[in-house]
Copies of this chain bind each other. A is one copy, B any other.
Amino acid sequence: MTALLTDLYQLTMAAGYWCAGKAAETATFELFVRRLPHNRNFLLAAGLQQAVDYLLHVRFTSEEIDYLRGLPQFRNVDGGFFEALRGFRFTGDLFAVPEGTPLFPGEPILTVRAPLMEAQIPETYLLSTVGFQTLIATKAARMVEAAGGRAVVEFGTRRAHSPEAGVYAARAAYLGGCIGTSNTLAGMRYGIPVFGTAAHSWIQSFPTELEAFERLHQLLGSGTTYLIDTYDTLEGARRAASLGKPFWGVRLDSGNLVELSRAVRVILDEAGCPEAKIMATGDLNEYKILELAAAGAPIDAFGVGTELATSSDAPSHGAVYKMVEHSSGLGRRYTAKFSQDKSTLPGAKQIFRYPGYDVLARTHECFMPGCEALLRPVIIRGELVGRQPDATGARSFARESIARLPKKLRSLFECDPPYRIDLSDELLQLAEEVRGIER
């Protein structure tokens, strides 16, 4: 994995640290989200696997080093720095919450403790991969909650922010509770169930809808889902049922889904297909799903694309990566920002989760039984420790963790008061001390 996939200033700073003899000083950075996006009551942590892959495999190729050498920003940097890049490895520590953990603003999703240069360069990649997957896993959990037990499938790659983003969106959506994806590469790479049958172009490529249905059934047998809205939805439902062979169900992709699903249900039942299911697709989101469910529409599964793969109502959240400790020849310093909008707390932290609330504390603090320390060692001195669960394991963990949250947090709307997060006395004291020094 190329270390060039970062902001240039990470590399100019790395060069600066190297030139100033500071590259080996130790720094601790925390990655967290400052504020919850609109209507969210929690975040669902995701993307750790990609963060770990990156830290274990990040390298500079010779070609990349030559490119940097040619940039004006590196004109004054001596050759030793570029030699150092040639052997660049992440030799530090990574602590992280397990994928699928519900989290809250200010709580670290991960903590990096490493030589300054090694901790700085990964900032951009870590923010992007963890930030994006957390965004999508969180959005997926909302859709799954709205669906109230009905299946939700992720279909969004075509509208994702690049094909590669579609692969990560599929993974994150699965972690968030979707039962699978249409993204075939995500299926193969992460062991996610894949779904898909046919589009309108399939129907259009045959002289009649009936022939298109027959041909599809020859291929997919009892797993067939007929897309029935190309010409006339109700007529499509009758044709599907008329084939007289077992099939999975039908898909509605347009029109009034409440009315159409009811009418189609009647057609299927009267035609002797009570087992046939109805899937709905077409610009759905959690609010529309909730409405359909509340209206009692007989829909068994939802396919969601654009709004899920882009988290379209909140396409970003302010994930940041902030230095909280720094050790040099002058000793250890705790760092923080105290500006009005962007204040941060100094010192490496641990999240202690009690039933119903969290305590954010300094890492060395020991808490009473009955709470769980969420941040765990994942990489120590550059080596992976322990095994991370795969996507399916992380998905199960997310389901269980969300089920344990106070029920009101699972609302699709902002709940007041928000989740309780206490700061430990030691953490508050450290913040006061640092604030005093900064002043």
Q: Write the residues of chain A forming the contact surface with B, with a CB cutoff of 8 angstroms.
A: 2, 4-13, 15-17, 19-20, 22, 25, 27, 29, 64, 67-68, 71-73, 75-77, 116, 120, 123-125, 127-129, 131-132, 135, 155, 157-169, 182-185, 187-188, 194-202, 204-205, 207, 215-216, 218-221, 223, 229-231, 254, 306, 310-312, 315-316, 318-319, 321-323, 326, 328, 330, 335, 337, 339, 341-342, 438
Q: Is the CB of B220 within 8 A of A73?
A: yes
B335 near A223 (CB under 8 angstroms)?
A: no
In contact, A12 and B219 (Cβ under 8 angstroms): yes
Which single member of B7, B182, B197, B323 contacts A204 (CB below 8 Å)?
Answer: B323
Evaluate contact between B5 and A167: CB separation under 8 angstroms: yes
Assess the B205–A158 pair: CB atoms within 8 A: no
Q: Assess whether A163 is in contact with B128, with CB atoms less than 8 Å apart.
A: yes
Option from B116, B155, B231, B319 in Cβ contact (under 8 Å) with A438: B231
Given the known interface contacts A4-B188, A77-B219, A219-B19, the answer about A161 and B158 at a Cβ–Cβ threshold of 8 Å is no
Contact assessment for A205 and B25 in the assembled complex, using a CB-CB cutoff below 8 Å: yes
- Nearest B residue to A131 via CB reads B159
Subset of 9 A-B contacts with CB under 8 Å? A4-B185, A6-B184, A9-B198, A13-B199, A16-B216, A29-B201, A76-B218, A128-B159, A200-B337
- Assess whether A128 is in contact with B335, with CB atoms less than 8 Å apart: no
Most buried by B among A68, A72, A159: A159
Bound state CA distance, A185 and B116, in angstroms? 22
Chain B: CB-nearest residue to A255? B339
Query: Which residue of B is nearest A181, CB measured?
Result: B8
B contact residues around A158 at 8 Å (CB): 7, 123-124, 127-128, 131, 319, 321
B9 touches A205 (CB 8 A): no
Contact A201–B323 (Cβ < 8 Å): yes
Given contacts A16-B215, A161-B160, contact A72 B223 (CB under 8 A): yes
Known pairs A7-B196, A9-B197, A205-B22; A310 contacts B438 (CB<8 A)? no
Candidate in A196, A219, A231 with the most chain B CB atoms within 10 angstroms:
A219
CB distance A184 to B11 under 8 Å? Answer: yes
Q: What is the minimal beta-carbon distance from A254 to any residue of chain B, in angstroms? A: 6
Contact of B185 with A219 in the complex, beta carbons under 8 Å: no
Please tell me if the beta carbons of A9 and B182 are within 8 angstroms of each other in the complex: yes
Residues of B within 8 A of A157 (CB): 5-7, 124, 128
What's the least CB distance linking A53 to chain B, in Å?
A: 11
> Which A-B residue pairs are the 4 nearest by beta carbons?
A8-B196, A9-B196, A161-B161, A315-B315
Contact A196 B120 (CB under 8 A): no
How many Å lie between the Cα of A200 and that of B10 in the bound state? Answer: 11
With both beta carbons as reference points, the residue of chain B lying nearest to A233 in the complex is identified as: B339
